[in-house]
Structure 1
């Protein structure tokens, strides 16, 4: 029996025009007796898969912990507010 892909969620990636991220549950990804995985794939223009990672469910908790650590690290790095150099809430053009 071939693998079965079940879409969990697809959403637009921030800071892109039309790239999306799709999360899927995959049953039997590597053959009849393989364990299910979670697939996280990026699609360019909503159609062409540009990257993908498959994570075994046994690693999900560790993966989520690492994502939360990454968020905390990102939040700890000082940054200038968006458009601070313009002293404005929105960007401007020339």
Structure 2
């Protein structure tokens, strides 16, 4: 049986107009006897693959922990609320 991709989910990337992230289960990614992986790929304009990574299922738990640690780190860094500098709920224009 050849390599087989099973799409799990496609998400729109925040802060972009039409970029997406596709999460796919891949059977036999590197040949007949290779273990399955999760493939995470970013597509520009919904069709042009920009980057991707394969994560062996054995590493998923550590990967998820690292993502959660990254979220906690991001949340711990003080930031100004968007548009605070102009004291308005929406941005201005020049």
Count of residue pairs brought into register by the alignment: 94
Q: State the 1:86 CA deviation.
A: 1.2
Q: State the 1:90 CA deviation.
A: 1.1
Q: State the 1:34 CA deviation.
A: 0.4
Cross-structure match for 1:9: 9
- Name the Cα RMSD after superposition: 0.6
TM-score by length of 1: 0.97
> Any idea what SS the aligned residue of 2:59 has?
helix
Cross-structure match for 2:35: 35
Q: State the 1:91 CA deviation.
A: 1.1
TM-score by length of 2: 0.97
Cross-structure match for 1:53: 53
Structure 2: stretches of 5+ with no match in the other structure: none
Cross-structure match for 2:75: 75
Cross-structure match for 1:84: 84
